[in-house]
């Protein structure tokens, strides 16, 4: 029975939701007012920990349509059959700020895409940049500490930020992107997205390819200047959230073309950059973009908390035909996300409607844990098989079987287990190449933006950074030095 009167959580009608039960008109509240107690107790539990990074964000559903069949490279269901459509959910975010921070910060933008495929959920949890600040996940917590608040002053800390970057020149390429005109996207609709890491594809013949994902924005790219961003932050700290809600509500659906760069497995040995180094891009001349399909975002979530705050995107959500790679950053991320989500949301977070598979059913032997048994709106059961059999192998007629037809081809690994230095690589060529394609005005704005915060760091950190900029391009170093001198004067 569906009535439109208000009820308590057990479904019982509530006769008065406006006034507490009191002993007399001016008397104290009675403990027997369990409706009041339920409201207050639930309110006390309304928050879960915010994401440790990418806390501020927005989410939208949409559709991915294949325009170019990729079956020669991958058995992935959602990348084959021209015209095939797959539901998607995308969460855009900033990185360093808290949930209440402004959308117009100079910061990479998270670009996390979930494909609800017929063979399980495939997540590409990337950014709006093709590279990252680091090449080894062991440095991620240290790096993020420099982006967050100083543990003593609770203030953002330019000294910590530049100190870390000056001692980790591998960050230079990404720092150059971040400080350039590309550093503050105008909103979430007018920017490209990247899987950033190298992933793998494998096809029906068991051949492996290394892959980079690119979401090419179909809206004009737009960025804010430092001055525009300062104004926007003051007027509307939620401007990018507002922009997405308005666009979808108005039927102005944003689109991205998904493309891939594909490298045959054996090329990795001989390519002139390490293809598993996240601080580097692959030249489009060497590995041109291959179109896959079009993603359109067209449906807003109905419950921000349930669907956006509790979405659990994870690089480890892979499906047959798409695999990981030896990229050290990706390897760390394969652990980090599901671990964070068990803590942030709870052991059965994958049973929530936004996280459970929509186009197939999850079949496994996991039964218990907090909140087990959430009803999946898409399927009868969250676990499949025989309800009573939570072990395998079993001889139950409807018991679950291994899906050996989807086995990933083996990957040959060799070498001694060791901690290999991350410093002995070329950190400067690609940062310099990027600098050299900027116009005179862009180069000057880049130098001025860098000087704006680098001037707040110590002299020795400034000197180390100028040395790195100069190694990328002599003019880059000289310009930052001059911009610093002008500011100091
Ligand atoms: C969110 C860890 C590198 C993109 C997160 C979260 C963690 C995390 C713990 C919060 C997850 C949650 O609570 O749901 C790490 C670690 C990294 C790393 C350990 C390096 C080893 C990266 C890189 C990218 C990236 C390289 C992009 C290329 C994102 C995005 C989100 C996120 C987009 C937000 C996902 C969402 O919208 O829910 N990261 N991260 N991260 N990370 Fe990373």
pLDDT digits (tens, 9 = 90+) for 82-111: 999 999 999 999 999 999 999 999 999 999
Question: If you measure from the C-alpha of residue 126 to the centroid of ligand 1, how many angstroms do you get, rounded to a whole number?
Answer: 8
Q: Which residue out of 78, 121, 127, 350 is catalytically annotated?
A: 127
Question: If you measure from the C-alpha of residue 35 to the centroid of ligand 1, how many angstroms do you get, rounded to a whole number?
Answer: 40
Ligand 1 in reach of 318 Cβ (< 6 A): no
Which atom, in ligand 1's list, is nearest to the CA of 112?
33
Which atom, in ligand 1's list, is nearest to the CA of 313?
38
Question: If you measure from the C-alpha of residue 258 to the centroid of ligand 1, how many angstroms do you get, rounded to a whole number?
Answer: 21
Give every residue of the chain whose pLDDT is below 70, as ranges.
1, 375, 379-382
> CB of 300 within 8 A of CB of 245?
yes
Ligand 1 in reach of 140 Cβ (< 6 A): yes
Nearest alpha carbon, ligand 1 atom 25: 126
Query: How do residues 213-249 score in pLDDT, each as one tens digit?
Result: 999 999 999 999 999 999 999 999 999 999 999 999 9
pLDDT of residue 381: 62
Which atom, in ligand 1's list, is nearest to the CA of 195?
28
Ligand 1 in reach of 145 Cβ (< 6 A): no
The token pair at 56 is 């501020």
Nearest alpha carbon, ligand 1 atom 16: 333
Rg from Cα positions in the chain: 25
Ligand 1 in reach of 189 Cβ (< 6 A): no
Nearest alpha carbon, ligand 1 atom 26: 132
> CB of 361 within 8 A of CB of 169?
no
Which of 48, 50, 53 should be mutated for ligand 1, with most atoms under 8 A from CB? Answer: 53
Which atom, in ligand 1's list, is nearest to the CA of 91?
37
Ligand 1 in reach of 115 Cβ (< 6 A): no
Ligand 1 in reach of 108 Cβ (< 6 A): no
Phi and psi of 299, rounded to 5°?
-145, 125
Give the number of other Cβ atoms within 10 Å of residue 305's Cβ: 11
Question: If you measure from the C-alpha of residue 315 to the centroid of ligand 1, how many angstroms do you get, rounded to a whole number?
Answer: 9
Q: Is 127 among the residues known to form the active site?
A: yes
Q: Is 274 among the residues known to form the active site?
A: no
Nearest alpha carbon, ligand 1 atom 34: 54
Q: How many residues does the chain have?
A: 489
Decide the pairing of beta strands 120-127 and 290-299: unpaired
Ligand 1 in reach of 312 Cβ (< 6 A): yes
Global pTM? 0.97
Phi and psi of 167, rounded to 5°?
-95, 0
The CA dihedral of 470, 476, 478, 480, to the nearest 10 degrees, is: -110
pLDDT of residue 380: 60
Ligand 1 in reach of 162 Cβ (< 6 A): no
pLDDT of residue 377: 72
Nearest alpha carbon, ligand 1 atom 23: 126
Nearest to 172 by CA among 424, 420, 426: 426
Question: If you measure from the C-alpha of residue 416 to the centroid of ligand 1, how many angstroms do you get, rounded to a whole number?
Answer: 29
pLDDT of residue 385: 77
Question: If you measure from the C-alpha of residue 105 to the centroid of ligand 1, how many angstroms do you get, rounded to a whole number?
Answer: 18
Phi and psi of 48, rounded to 5°?
-115, 165
Nearest to 446 by CA among 133, 179, 104, 129: 179
SS (H, E, C) the chain: CCCCCCECCCCCECCCCCCCCECCCCCCECCCCHHHHHHHHHHHCCCCCCCCCCCCEEEEEEEEEECCCCCCCCCCHHHCCCCCEEEEEEEEEECCCCCCCCCCCCCCEEEEEEEEECCEEEEEEEECCCCCCCCCHHHHHHHHHHHCECCCCCCECHHHHHHHHHHCHHHHHHHHHHHCCCCCECCCCCCCEECCCCEEEECCCCCEEEEEEEEEECCCCCECCHHHHHHHHHHCCCHHHHHHHHHHHCCCCCEEEEEEEEEECCHHHHCCCCCCCCCCCCCCCCCCCEEEEEEEEEECCCCHHHHHHCCCCCCCCCCCCEECCCCHHHHHHHHHHHHHHHHHCCCCHHHCCCCCCCCCCCCCCCCCCCCCCCCCCCCCCCCCCCCCCCCCCCCCCCCCCCCHHHCCCCCCCCCCCCCCCCCCCCCCHHHHHHHHHCCHHHHHHHHHHHHHHHCCCCHHHHHHHHHHHHHHCHHHHHHHHHHHHHHHC
Question: If you measure from the C-alpha of residue 308 to the centroid of ligand 1, how many angstroms do you get, rounded to a whole number?
Answer: 15
């Amino acid at each position: 029975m569906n009535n439109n009167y208000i009820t308590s959580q057990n479904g019982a009608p509530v006769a008065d939701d406006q006034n507490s039960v009191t002993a007399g008109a001016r008397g104290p509240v009675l403990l027997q007012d369990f409706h009041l107690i339920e409201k207050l107790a639930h309110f006390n539990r309304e928050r879960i920990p915010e994401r440790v990074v990418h806390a501020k964000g927005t989410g939208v559903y949409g559709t991915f349509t294949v325009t170019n069949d990729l079956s020669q490279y991958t058995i992935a269901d959602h990348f084959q059959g021209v015209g095939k459509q797959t539901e998607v959910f995308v969460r855009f975010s900033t990185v360093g700020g808290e949930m209440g921070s402004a959308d117009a910060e100079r910061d990479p933008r998270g670009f996390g895409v979930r494909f609800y495929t017929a063979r399980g959920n495939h997540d590409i949890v990337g950014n709006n940049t093709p590279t990252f600040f680091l090449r080894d996940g062991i440095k991620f917590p240290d790096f993020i500490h420099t982006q967050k608040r100083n543990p003593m002053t609770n203030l953002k800390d330019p000294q910590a930020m530049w100190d870390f970057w000056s001692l980790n020149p591998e960050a230079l390429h990404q720092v150059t992107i971040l400080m350039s005109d590309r550093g503050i996207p105008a909103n979430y609709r007018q920017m490209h997205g990247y899987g950033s890491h190298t992933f793998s594809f494998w096809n029906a013949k068991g051949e492996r390819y290394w892959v980079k994902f690119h979401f090419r924005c179909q809206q004009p790219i737009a960025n804010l200047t430092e001055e525009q961003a300062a104004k926007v932050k003051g007027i509307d700290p939620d401007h990018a959230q507002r922009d997405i809600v308005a666009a979808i509500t108005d039927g102005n659906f944003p689109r991205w073309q998904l493309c891939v760069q594909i490298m045959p497995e054996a090329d990795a040995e001989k390519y002139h950059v390490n293809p598993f180094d996240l601080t580097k891009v692959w030249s489009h001349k060497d590995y041109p973009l291959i179109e896959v399909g079009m993603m359109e975002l067209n449906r807003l979530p109905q419950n921000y908390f349930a669907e956006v705050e509790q979405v659990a995107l994870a690089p480890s959500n892979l499906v047959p035909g798409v695999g990981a790679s030896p990229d050290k950053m990706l390897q760390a991320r394969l652990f980090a996300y599901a671990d964070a989500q068990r803590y942030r949301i709870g052991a059965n977070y994958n049973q929530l409607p936004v996280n459970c598979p929509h186009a197939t059913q999850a079949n496994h032997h996991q039964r218990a844990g907090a909140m087990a048994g959430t009803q999946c709106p898409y399927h009868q059961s969250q676990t499949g098989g025989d309800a009573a059999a939570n072990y395998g192998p079993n001889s139950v007629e409807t018991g679950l079987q291994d899906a050996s037809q989807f086995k990933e081809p083996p990957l040959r690994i060799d070498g001694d287990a060791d901690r290999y230095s991350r410093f002995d690589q070329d950190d400067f060529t690609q940062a310099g190449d990027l600098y050299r394609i900027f116009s005179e005005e862009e180069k000057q704005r880049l130098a001025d933006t860098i000087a704006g915060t680098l001037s707040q760091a110590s002299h020795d950190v400034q000197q180390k950074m100028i040395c790195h900029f100069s190694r990328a391009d002599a003019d880059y170093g000289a310009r930052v030095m001059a911009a610093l001198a002008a500011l100091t004067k």
